[in-house]
Amino acid sequence: MNVESPIREPLILGNKTYHQITEDICKPIEGRANKLWYLVFTIAAICALWGIGLIAYTFGTGIGVWGLNKTVGWAWDITNFVWWVGIGHAGTLISAILLLFRQKWRMAINRSAEAMTIFAVICAALFPAIHVGRVWVVYWFFPIPNQLGSLWVNFNSPLLWDLFAISTYFSVSLVFWYIGLIPDFATVRDRQIKPLAKKIYSVLSFGWSGNVKAWQRFEEVALVLAGLSTPLVLSVHTIVSMDFATSIVPGWHTTIFPPYFVAGAIFSGFAMVATLLIIMRKVLNLEEYITINHLESMNKVIVVTGSIVGVAYITELVIAWYSGVQYEHYAFLNRATGPYAWAYWIMMSCNVISPQLFWSRKVRRSLIATFMLSIVVNIGMWFERFVIIVTSTHRDFLPSSWTMFYPTFVDLGIYIGTIGIFFTLFLLFSRVFPVIAIAETKSILKISGDGWKKKTENMYEKIGEADHHH
Amino acid sequence: MGKKTILAIFEDPDDILHGTKQLMSKGIKIREIYAPFPIHGIDKALGVKPTRISTVAFFYGVLGLTIALLMMWYMNVKDWSMNIGGKPSFSLSQNLPAFIPVAFEITVLITAHLMSYTFLIRSRLFPGFKAMNPVLRATDDKFVMEIVLDDNKVAVDDLKAMVIEAKAREINDSELKYKD
C-alpha cells in the first residue's frame, strides 16, 4: 500500500468511499439546474449573441467599425487574442506539466481547467480570424495551392507559425481532454436509469469497460500526451510573443518576450482557474474535493509567475535604457508617462504589486482574497497586452503619424461577446460533463483521502505505542 | 452460446491485486479484470505484456517531422522560392531555423492524434460500441475478476472457495458476454 506522510494535507476531505466520490461528482450533472444557473446562463448567452451580432456587423461593414487607424493597426483585437490564449495555458500546465511532476493536487482541478483551456482558445482563435477583415478568404492562412498560381504561405513568418501553434494546441488539448473523459463518461453511463441519458453517455463513453489492457494503454497515452503537451504549451506563447518580438517596433523588438509571455500566460491562466473554481466548488458542492489546499497551491504558482512577470517588466525598462537607442528610450518613457500611463500603472499595480500579497499564508488560504486577487490579475494581464500592443505602435518612428487609439462599441462588444461565449460553454460543460476527473480522484483516495490518512495515522500511533511498551 | 464464467467481485484495489497474485500462483487463469480506475501493478500480476504505444508514438513523431520538413521544403524552397527582406529561401538547411517552429508543431500534431487514434482502435473504443464490463458497478466502486470455467481444470466449488480466500466479497455466476 502507498502511504503518504501525515504532515501532507489531505486532498479529499470527509470520510469518502469510492461510491461516494461517484455520487458527489455525478450529482451536479444528474440533477436539475437551479435558478441561479439559468440566470447566469441567460446573461452569458445574451452577451455571446451580442458579440456574434457585432462580428456579423464587422463582416458586413468592414474593419473600419473598429477603433483601428493607420498607425495603430493592431489594438483591441490582438490584445484579446493574446489574453485569451494566455488564460488557456493554465489548463495544459495543470493537466500536463503537473502530471509529469506527479502532483496529485492536479486531479481535482485538471478537468475543469482543461475545459477552460479549450473554451479560451476558441475565444482566442476568433480574433485573428475576424481581424483579417475578409473572413471569406481566411483559408488563405492554410498551406493549400491557391487560384493565383502556386504561391504558397510563407513559413518564415511568425504569424504563420502562430496559426500552426494555435491549431495544434487546440486540437491536441481537445484530444487529451476527451481521452481523459472516456472512463468518466462510462461511470456516468452505468448509473443512468433513463434510456435517453444512458444512450447519450453510452455514445460519449465509446464503449469503455475498464479492462486491464485498456487502463494500461490509457495511462501510457496520458503520459505521452502530457510529455507532448508540455513543450507544446510553452511553444504556443513563445510563438505568440514572436509575432511581436520579430518586428522592429520599439517596445516589441525584445528578446525577453518568449519566457516573459509564457510566465504571464501561466499567471493569468491560474488566476482564471481560481476565479472559476471558487464559484464552481460552491455552486456544485465540491468543497471537499477542491479544497483550500488546492487553491493555496494555485496561489503559490500565481505568486511565482507574477514575480517572474514583475522581473521581466523591470528588465525591459533597464534594457531599453541600456540599449542607448533613442526610440527604445522613448517607447518605455511614453509607456510610463505618456497618454496611456494610466494603463501602464494599472498593469504594474495589478500584476507586480498585488500578487505579492500571496507571500502571506493567510491571504493564500483566504477564499475572498484569492477571488478578488484573481480578478485583479486578470484585469492586469489584459492591460499588459494592451500596453505592449497599443503604446508601442501609437507613437513610433515618425512623429507626424502619432495618434491615439480609442475603442468603439464594436471593439467592446466583441470582447464582451467572447466572455459570454466562454461562460456559456463553461456553464454547459458543468451541466453535462463530470467536472472532476472521477477515476483519477479515486486512484488517490487511499493515499490522500482524509479518512484513509487518519486510519494510517492511527495505525502508526498503535505501532508506536506497542514499541514503547517493549 | 456464452461460456460459463465466475465473476469475483472485490471492494478494494489492494485486495484484488493481492488476490490476483494469489490465484495466479495457484495456476488459476483469469480472463479479465475490470476496475473503475487504474490499479498499479495489476497488468504485471495478470501477465499482461507492457504496451508498445509509446514506441509507436515515437515513429509517428518521426513521420510527422518528415512530413513537416518535406512540406515546407517543397512549398518554400522547391516550388516557389521567395526572397523576403533580402533573405531568399535557397535550401532547406539555410532555411531550417525559420522552419523549426512549424516542424515542431506538426510533429506534435501528428504524433498526438495518431497515437490517440491508435489507442482508441486497439482498445476497441468508438462512439456507439457496447461496453463489455459484466457488472455495472465496475465503473463505480467494484473491482471485478472474470474467470472462465473452461480455462481452468478446477471444480466450480473449489474455484469459488479459492476466490473467497483471495478476499472476494461476492461471487456471481455469469455467461461470458463477448466473443473471444
Indicate which CATH number applies to the domain containing A390.
1.20.1630.10
As a whole number of angstroms, the distance between CA B9 and CA B156 comes to 16
As a whole number of angstroms, the distance between CA A430 and CA A39 comes to 15
Whether the pLDDT of residue B77 is over 80: the answer is yes
As a whole number of angstroms, the distance between CA A156 and CA A139 comes to 18
Q: Can you give the pLDDT at residue A389?
A: 94
Count of Cβ atoms closer than 10 Å to residue A104 Cβ: 17
Residues A444, A107 contacting (CB under 8 angstroms): yes
Cβ of residue B154 closer than 8 Å to a chain A Cβ:
no
Distances (CA, A) of A464 to A200, A468, B125: 53, 6, 50
Residues B37, A470 contacting (CB under 8 angstroms): no
Residue-range definition of the domain harbouring residue A278:
18-134+154-450
Subunit contact B113:A171, Cβ cutoff 8 A = yes
Subunit contact B140:A209, Cβ cutoff 8 A = no
Cell numbers standing for residue B35: 476496475
Low-confidence ranges of chain A (pLDDT < 70): 1-3, 147-150, 460, 464-470
Q: Which residues of B106-134 are buried (b: 16+ CB within 10 A; e: fewer)?
A: bbbbbbbbbbbebbbeebbbeeebebbbb
Is residue A28 helix, strand or coil?
Answer: helix
CATH number given to B4-50+131-175: 3.30.70
Whether the pLDDT of residue B1 is over 50: the answer is no
Task: Find the CB nearest A207 among B84, B119, B124.
Answer: B124
Residues B135, B172 contacting (CB under 8 angstroms): yes
Task: Find the CB nearest A212 among B14, B43, B99.
Answer: B43
The tens digit of pLDDT for each residue in A304-357 reads: 999 999 999 999 999 999 999 999 999 999 999 999 999 999 999 999 999 999
Count of Cβ atoms closer than 10 Å to residue A66 Cβ: 21
Asked if the structure places residue A334 within a domain, the reply is: yes
Q: Which residues of chain B make contact with A207, given a CB cutoff of 8 A? A: 124-126, 128-132
Q: Which residues of chain B make contact with A17, given a CB cutoff of 8 A? A: 141
Cβ of residue B178 closer than 8 Å to a chain A Cβ:
no
Q: Can you give the pLDDT at residue B177?
A: 56
As a whole number of angstroms, the distance between CA A448 and CA A289 comes to 11
* Nearest residue to B8 (alpha-carbon basis) of B138, B116, B119, B180: B138
Cell numbers standing for residue A217: 494503454
Q: Which residues pair with B175 in a beta bridge?
A: B4
Taking CA atoms, what residue in B is nearest to A233?
Answer: B105
Cβ of residue B96 closer than 8 Å to a chain A Cβ:
no
* Nearest residue to B110 (alpha-carbon basis) of B79, B52, B71: B71
As a whole number of angstroms, the distance between CA B111 and CA B103 comes to 12
DSSP H or E segment with residue A216: helix A212-245
Asked if the structure places residue A470 within a domain, the reply is: no
Of A239-248, A305-314, B47-56, B168-177, minimum mean pLDDT range: B168-177
Q: Domain limits of chain B?
A: 4-50+131-175, 53-122
As a whole number of angstroms, the distance between CA B179 and CA B1 comes to 9
Subunit contact B75:A179, Cβ cutoff 8 A = no
Q: Which residues of chain B make contact with A216, given a CB cutoff of 8 A? A: 38, 43, 48, 50-51
Taking CA atoms, what residue in B is nearest to A437?
Answer: B37
Subunit contact B79:A217, Cβ cutoff 8 A = no
Cβ of residue B62 closer than 8 Å to a chain A Cβ:
no
Q: Which residues of chain B make contact with A229, given a CB cutoff of 8 A? A: 112
What's the pLDDT band for B180 if we cut at 50, 70, 90?
very low
Cell numbers standing for residue B138: 465496475
Q: Can you give the pLDDT at residue A468?
A: 62
Size of interface A-B (CB pairs under 8 A): 200
As a whole number of angstroms, the distance between CA A452 and CA A122 comes to 41
* Section B7-31 average pLDDT: 89
Asked if the structure places residue A461 within a domain, the reply is: no
Taking CA atoms, what residue in B is nearest to A1?
Answer: B14
Q: Which residues of chain A make contact with B105, given a CB cutoff of 8 A? A: 161, 164-165, 167-168, 232, 235
The tens digit of pLDDT for each residue in B116-157 reads: 999 999 999 999 888 888 888 889 889 999 888 888 888 888
Asked if the structure places residue A463 within a domain, the reply is: no
Task: Find the CB nearest B79 among A152, A187, A220.
Answer: A152
The sheet carrying B4-10 orders its strands as: B32-34, B143-148, B4-10, B170-175
Subunit contact B79:A17, Cβ cutoff 8 A = no
The shortest C-alpha distance from B132 to chain A (Å) reads 5
Is residue A232 helix, strand or coil?
Answer: helix
Instruction: Please report the residues numbered 5 through 44 in chain B whose beta carbons come closer than 8 angstroms to any beta carbon of chain A.
Output: 13-14, 32-39, 42-43
Asked if the structure places residue A10 within a domain, the reply is: no
Residues A176, B112 contacting (CB under 8 angstroms): yes
Distances (CA, A) of A320 to A39, A248, A252, A304, A330: 49, 14, 11, 24, 9
- How many distinct structural domains can be found in chain A? 1
Kindly provide the ipTM of the predicted complex, given to two decimals: 0.92
Whether the pLDDT of residue B179 is over 60: the answer is no
Asked if the structure places residue A6 within a domain, the reply is: no
3-state secondary structure A297-345: HHHHHHHHHHHHHHHHHHHHHHHHHHHCCHHHHHHHHHHHHCCCHHHHH
Subunit contact B102:A19, Cβ cutoff 8 A = no
